[in-house]
């Protein structure tokens, strides 16, 4: 019988426990597909006494996760600790230096240190697999790095954070404000006590940086990603978006443009008929477009023990079979050096919502600013009259350069009739 692939798992939280459970529950199926059994032989976690719902008897236990890399009875190291620094980074680097393949779900580590890690993996001739780092159980990494390897990718975009998608869905379906929807997400366990990593777009930015590197065959570049979150989205904006035929989603978008590659994470208005507009709740989705294959849309659960464990074990099966590719799809020396396009050069349509005093001349002042900056309007929406009171006014522009729109926003916000900070949301046709 072929010797089992011996695996060490660092981090026995939700995902780590899920990996152990999956390897046990589906052991015959996994062995058949891997060509050999896959067995966890060593683990590391902070609390040895904690009940994780899976048996740990017979497994070697390490207080220091980095020590897993030196265990001669370990073939592959699975890093599920998380975080871009500390023991997670130390373990991954130690394992690669020891010549041991690594499987990780750590998007922060790859987004921040992916270039250095890829260089180390290539120098040591050791694979690193990370399907679980983006979109949970959705095979987004395989889609870009393997399934579409023959295509020149035009763009990749997606709903990459289930917490934000749940909040925006709840706001739309139940007409709730942001704070109320966030509190419900926290109560249900979809959002952390400190939700800033999710709602400020950081988590989605890490994932987009990884997808962009794979899609365009270039080194990972988190610093180039423009990032905005969903804190300023209101129930009013979601209702007005529906009236205009849109839904609001937090998207990560990477696009090949004239002069380079743009990468951005921010709330978007997408047409209500678009497939990605109908992806609700905690689900994720990824849209990719290649020159030969056209458009592909995949969706599913982007987090949780079972979907993420599914992705981790899929990577283990590949390693057991000897299947692997360079970290970013090509050797470091063959990666593309196309520059990043700054956000100021983005061109697209915009939704601008103002709260203004209802009095003569206000709209003329606003449109005068747009005229001076050569920003053309597609439509304007105003509901009701309340002389002397605050009323919402919505302006939708034709395609405009970001730099001009930002200057318009600054000038409009300074008008005395504008009572609140203007809300700007980009419109994405997708």
Residues known to be catalytic = 207
Counting Cα atoms < 13 Å in the Cβ hemisphere of 336 gives: 19
The token duo for 96 is 């690669």
Residues 254, 262: contact at Cβ < 8 Å? yes
Distance, CA of 94 to CA of 90 (rounded, Å): 6
The pairing of strands 260-271 and 423-427 is parallel
Distance, CA of 157 to CA of 226 (rounded, Å): 14
**Which residues does residue 382 pair with via DSSP β-bridges, in sequence order?**
393
The token duo for 235 is 């129930």
Q: Taking Cα atoms as reference points, which of 255, 207, 206, 219 lies closest to residue 329?
A: 219
The token duo for 199 is 């709602």
Q: What is the DSSP letter of 39?
A: E
Indicate the burial class of 241 (C-beta count within 10 angstroms; 0-12, 13-18, 19 or more).
Answer: buried
Whose tokens are 């400190």? That residue is 194
Burial code (b: 16+ CB inside 10 Å, e: under 16) for 107-136 equals: bbbbbbbbbebbebbbeeebbbbbbbbbbb
Distance, CA of 167 to CA of 331 (rounded, Å): 40
Using CA atoms, how far residue 395 sits from 177, 258, 375, 398, 427, in Å, is 22, 28, 11, 10, 12
CB within 8 Å of 145: residues ≥ 6 apart? 214, 325, 329
Distance, CA of 218 to CA of 208 (rounded, Å): 13
The token duo for 238 is 């979601």
Distance, CA of 394 to CA of 351 (rounded, Å): 7
Using CA atoms, how far residue 135 sits from 51, 151, 162, 312, 416, in Å, is 27, 21, 9, 12, 45
Distance, CA of 259 to CA of 377 (rounded, Å): 27
Neighbour tally for 387: CB within 10 Å: 9
């Amino acid at each position: 019988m072929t010797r089992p692939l011996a695996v060490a798992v660092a981090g026995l939280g939700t995902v780590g426990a899920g990996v152990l459970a999956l390897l046990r529950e589906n052991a015959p199926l996994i062995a058949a597909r891997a060509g050999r059994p896959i067995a966890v032989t060593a683990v590391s976690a902070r609390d040895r006494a904690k009940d994780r719902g899976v048996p740990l008897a017979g497994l070697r236990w390490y207080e220091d996760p980095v020590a897993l890399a030196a265990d001669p009875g370990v073939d592959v190291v699975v890093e599920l600790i998380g975080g871009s620094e500390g023991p997670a980074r130390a373990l991954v680097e130690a394992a690669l230096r020891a010549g041991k393949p690594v499987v990780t779900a750590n998007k922060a580590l790859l987004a921040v240190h992916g270039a250095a890690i890829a260089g180390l993996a290539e120098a040591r001739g050791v694979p690193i697999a990370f399907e679980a780092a983006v979109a949970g159980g959705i095979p987004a990494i395989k889609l870009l790095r393997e399934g579409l390897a023959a295509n020149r990718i035009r763009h990749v975009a997606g709903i990459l954070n289930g917490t934000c998608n749940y909040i925006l869905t709840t706001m739309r379906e139940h007409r709730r404000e942001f704070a109320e929807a966030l509190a419900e997400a926290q109560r249900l366990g979809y959002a952390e006590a400190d939700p800033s990593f999710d709602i400020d777009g950081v988590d989605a930015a890490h994932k987009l940086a990884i997808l962009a590197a794979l899609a365009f065959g270039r080194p990972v570049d988190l610093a180039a990603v423009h990032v905005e979150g969903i804190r300023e989205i209101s129930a009013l904006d979601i209702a007005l978006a529906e009236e205009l035929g849109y839904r609001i989603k937090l998207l990560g978008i990477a696009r090949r443009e004239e002069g380079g590659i743009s990468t951005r994470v921010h709330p978007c208005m997408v047409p209500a008929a678009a497939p990605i507009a109908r992806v609700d709740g905690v689900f994720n989705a990824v849209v990719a477009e290649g020159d030969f294959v056209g458009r592909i849309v995949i969706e599913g659960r982007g987090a949780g023990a079972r979907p993420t464990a599914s992705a981790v074990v899929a990577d283990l099966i590949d390693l057991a079979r000897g299947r692997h590719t360079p970290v970013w799809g090509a050797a470091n020396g063959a990666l593309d050096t196309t520059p990043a396009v700054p956000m100021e050069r983005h061109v697209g349509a915009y939704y601008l919502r103002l709260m203004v005093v209802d009095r003569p001349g206000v709209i003329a002042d606003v449109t005068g600013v747009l005229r001076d900056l050569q920003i053309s309007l597609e439509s304007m929406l105003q509901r009701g009259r309340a002389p002397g009171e605050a009323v919402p006014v919505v302006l939708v522009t034709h395609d405009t350069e970001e730099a001009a729109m930002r200057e318009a926003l600054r000038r409009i916000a300074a008008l005395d009739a504008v009572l609140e900070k203007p809300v700007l949301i980009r419109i994405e046709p997708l």
